[in-house]
Structure 1
Amino acid sequence: MGRIPSLKNFNAFPHAEDHLLKKTYSGAIVTILGLIVMVTLFAHELTFYLTTYTMHQMSVDLKRGETLPIHINVSFPSLPCEVLSVDAIDMSGKHEVDLHTNIWKLRLDKYGHIIGTEYLSDLVEKEHGTHDHDHGHEHDVEKKPEHTFNEDADKMIKSVKLAMENGEGCRVYGALDVQRVAGNFHISVHGLNIFVANQIFDGSSHVNVSHVIHRLSFGPEYPGIHNPLDDTSRILHDTSGTFKYYIKVVPTEYRYLSKGVLPTNQFSVTEYFVPIRPTDRSWPAVYFLYDLSPITVTIREERRNFLHFITRLCAVLGGTFAMTGMLDRWMYRIIESISSSKPRSGMR
């Protein structure tokens, strides 16, 4: 029993002085303020703990034999759907006609409302190789000029001119899967016979490829992704030319907290515009030229450690409690000093 009194020296919670146990209005106010601060900080720390954050990791891309999904949604307010075609070519020069596609052309009136649809079962329009307008492909097929038009061609010319007079436009919407190699896809009037195109537009300099990119992505979206070409508007006035978007695709894996994995792609882009000159033999178009990065990015969702949360919570609440006690003592002493400084009644 002789050792028991010495244990008092290790008591970290000595009894408070008598004046500190006295209940006052100032103490009640400080207590209420302290409780409000502690509840606020507790809610903040709990939200901070429950909120997930992401970790980024880079490694060499080892994927093989997969396709690259491309989701497009582009409007052409000055070109009817009858003159537009979609074409995709990989780096070997192969037309991607054997891959799965799901592309629609939506006819738009001058107010942007949909007035008709057309499904493209093939990326390359029929007989594409025999009437390509780009001089870079002229070596593909020997072409014989045809200066006469049959009844179908005349009917098409009249139909397109009427649509252009009515301010009709077109939206190209859908998805396509291409080989996982560098390549390009473009939207243009290259599917038209060159003489039909001349009859419609009176030369390449009058082809207005103004467009609005509502969405362009290379795979499904994950939380926080940013597609730099979304909601991009390029409107031409009294000029014509070819738009080229050079895209660097970065393979990406998004790993959810639930261990689910979402394979997708990010990309960066550089834009270039080439005006049409009278001597040019090419026709205006909108090109999307893409290349794949050899590096893949893994984005992993993480949650903060529970022990870290408890440590921060104890520090915040304990610190608030200690500051509240100090404030209570300070206010009590001020009030006491003011009370003692007042002259007592009956004294001179």
Structure 2
Amino acid sequence: MEHVMSKIRNFDAYPKINEDFYSRTLSGGVITLASSILMLLLFLSELRLYLHAVTETQLVVDTSRGETLRINFDVTFPALQCSILSLDAMDISGEQHLDVKHDIFKKRIDAHGNVIESKQDGIGAPKIDKPLQRHGGRLEHNETYCGSCYGAEASDDDCCNSCEEVREAYQKKGWGLSNPDLIDQCKREGFLDKIKAEEGEGCNVYGFLEVNKVAGNFHFAPGKSFHQSGVHVHDLLAFQMDSFNLSHTINRLAFGDYFPGVVNPLDGVRWTQQSPSGMYQYFIKVVPTVYTDVNGHTIQSNQFSVTEHFKGARIGQLQSLPGIFFFYDLSPIKVTFTEEHVSFLHFLTNVCAIIGGVFTVSGILDSFIYHGQRAIKKKMEIGKFS
């Protein structure tokens, strides 16, 4: 055993300096103190990096199929009443959702932004409870009401018992409702009176859309939409208004769920309309994103970039459909974020590098100052001797 210990002593590669050869100086003490503080600060910085996860970013081709895209939105129109505002969504596959009401909420707001009423329905009024006619005639005993669709019936058995049902029947025919006062249901429901009563109000629309994961658009526009000769139009004549104030504030717009570090560039964006009417367009490039935290939990979401364009009405040309349009397209490249912890060996290596590096640099600096002071002192002594 003693022989082994003797071998280990002989293997010691670090020579020990006798304390009699030490020269303690003020500059050496200052450098030692400064070096110790620097090493402590660097150690704490490295410890913070070790305790917190780092995010690795990778770009891959998006090969997913058959998925859907959730669009979360919250938009405020300070000068457009809820009774005339509708939401449509469509994509390049041909799928359309007109006057979307499912999972959509509307809040009537006054000129000061205070909430007047909150509801989950679209434009239109409730059905008539006590109607008086059946296709222009009187009701017989025990006969249920069946209102006229004013030429939009698909068969003799079709009924339109409210102004909204008449408008929907017209929509299926590709017609626009030009004068609601001629429709008995609309007249008794006070369709135009209700719109006039809400003048000066605004509307806050929020909710989400579940759409196919293909390029498409969704838009907020006044009036109920329908197709006429293959063109998407809205029955604006029903409101008997010359222009619509489409000023708006996008409180939130996100494609998918929130994940740490996501930045939605349209959050808080405000636009004030200056011209009488027009179409405000947002062109959005959606980038699929997968975020995986240190515990292995995965969030499937998206990021996006956006450009904006306003298409106003020009003299001598067909007026653009007034509305706020969001055109989105998907990138074929997917971004993956993966949270990882730095390994303990990597942390230990960096700590050793900090201690050794600071110690070596401070030793060189101390040696330079020490020999410089000795040289100056020796020159002074030679000068005195001379």
Would the TM-score normalized by the shorter structure come out above 0.5? yes
Task: Measure how far apart 1:286 and its partner are.
Answer: 1.0
267-276 or 324-333, which deviates more: 324-333
Asked if the contact 1:252–1:265 (Cα under 8 Å) also holds between the matched residues in 2, the reply is: yes
CA distance in 2 between partners of 1:187 and 1:216 (Å): 14
Structure 1: any 5+ residue segments left out of the alignment? 133-138
In structure 1, which of residues 193, 196, 201 is the aligned counterpart of residue 238 of structure 2?
Answer: 196
CA distance in 1 between partners of 2:35 and 2:319 (Å): 78
Partner residue in 2 for 1:303: 341
Q: 1:55 and 2:57 equivalent?
A: yes
209-218 or 26-35, which deviates more: 26-35
Q: 1:73 and 2:106 equivalent?
A: no
Counterpart of 2:17 in structure 1: which amino acid? A
- Give SS of 1:253's match: strand
Q: 1:309 to 1:147 in 2, by over 3 A?
A: closer
Asked if the contact 1:110–1:169 (Cα under 8 Å) also holds between the matched residues in 2, the reply is: yes
CA distance in 2 between partners of 1:102 and 1:213 (Å): 18
CA distance in 2 between partners of 1:152 and 1:99 (Å): 21
Task: Measure how far apart 1:233 and its partner are.
Answer: 1.5
Asked if the contact 2:77–2:204 (Cα under 8 Å) also holds between the matched residues in 1, the reply is: yes
- Give SS of 1:300's match: strand
CA distance in 2 between partners of 1:268 and 1:338 (Å): 65
- Give SS of 2:289's match: strand
Task: Measure how far apart 1:320 and its partner are.
Answer: 0.8
Partner residue in 1 for 2:174: 141
- Give SS of 1:318's match: helix
CA distance in 2 between partners of 1:176 and 1:233 (Å): 22
Query: Cα deviation per residue 1:68-95 (whole Å; 9 max; x = unaligned)?
Result: 1110111111111111111222334433
Task: Measure how far apart 1:342 and its partner are.
Answer: 7.0
Query: Cα deviation per residue 1:205-245 (whole Å; 9 max; x = unaligned)?
Result: x2111111121111012122222222222211243201122
Q: 1:313 to 1:20 in 2, by over 3 A?
A: farther
Task: Measure how far apart 1:19 and its partner are.
Answer: 5.7
Partner residue in 2 for 1:274: 311
324-333 or 79-88, which deviates more: 324-333
Return the TM-score normalized by structure 2: 0.72
Query: Cα deviation per residue 1:288-341 (whole Å; 9 max; x = unaligned)?
Result: 122333333322223334333222221221111122233334444455566667
Task: Measure how far apart 1:162 and its partner are.
Answer: 4.2
Q: 1:161 and 2:196 equivalent?
A: yes
Counterpart of 2:121 in structure 1: which amino acid? L
Partner residue in 2 for 1:265: 302
Q: 1:76 to 1:20 in 2, by over 3 A?
A: farther
Partner residue in 2 for 1:112: 113
Partner residue in 1 for 2:268: 231
Asked if the contact 1:248–1:290 (Cα under 8 Å) also holds between the matched residues in 2, the reply is: yes
153-162 or 309-318, which deviates more: 153-162
Q: 1:212 and 2:249 equivalent?
A: yes
Q: 1:171 and 2:204 equivalent?
A: yes
Partner residue in 1 for 2:354: 316
Q: 1:329 to 1:193 in 2, by over 3 A?
A: closer
Q: Percent identity?
A: 36
Query: Cα deviation per residue 1:105-139 (whole Å; 9 max; x = unaligned)?
Result: 112222222222121379xx95565567xxxxxx9
Structure 2: any 5+ residue segments left out of the alignment? 124-162, 225-233
Counterpart of 2:30 in structure 1: which amino acid? I
Asked if the contact 2:57–2:335 (Cα under 8 Å) also holds between the matched residues in 1, the reply is: no
Q: 1:184 and 2:221 equivalent?
A: no
- Give SS of 2:266's match: coil
Q: 1:296 to 1:332 in 2, by over 3 A?
A: closer
Partner residue in 2 for 1:136: none
Asked if the contact 2:80–2:203 (Cα under 8 Å) also holds between the matched residues in 1, the reply is: yes
Counterpart of 1:84 in structure 2: which amino acid? L
Asked if the contact 1:147–1:195 (Cα under 8 Å) also holds between the matched residues in 2, the reply is: no
CA distance in 1 between partners of 2:24 and 2:86 (Å): 84
CA distance in 1 between partners of 2:211 and 2:276 (Å): 33
Paired positions, count: 326
CA distance in 2 between partners of 1:100 and 1:266 (Å): 26
Asked if the contact 1:55–1:301 (Cα under 8 Å) also holds between the matched residues in 2, the reply is: no
Q: 1:275 to 1:176 in 2, by over 3 A?
A: same
CA distance in 1 between partners of 2:108 and 2:99 (Å): 26
CA distance in 1 between partners of 2:47 and 2:61 (Å): 34
Counterpart of 1:160 in structure 2: which amino acid? I
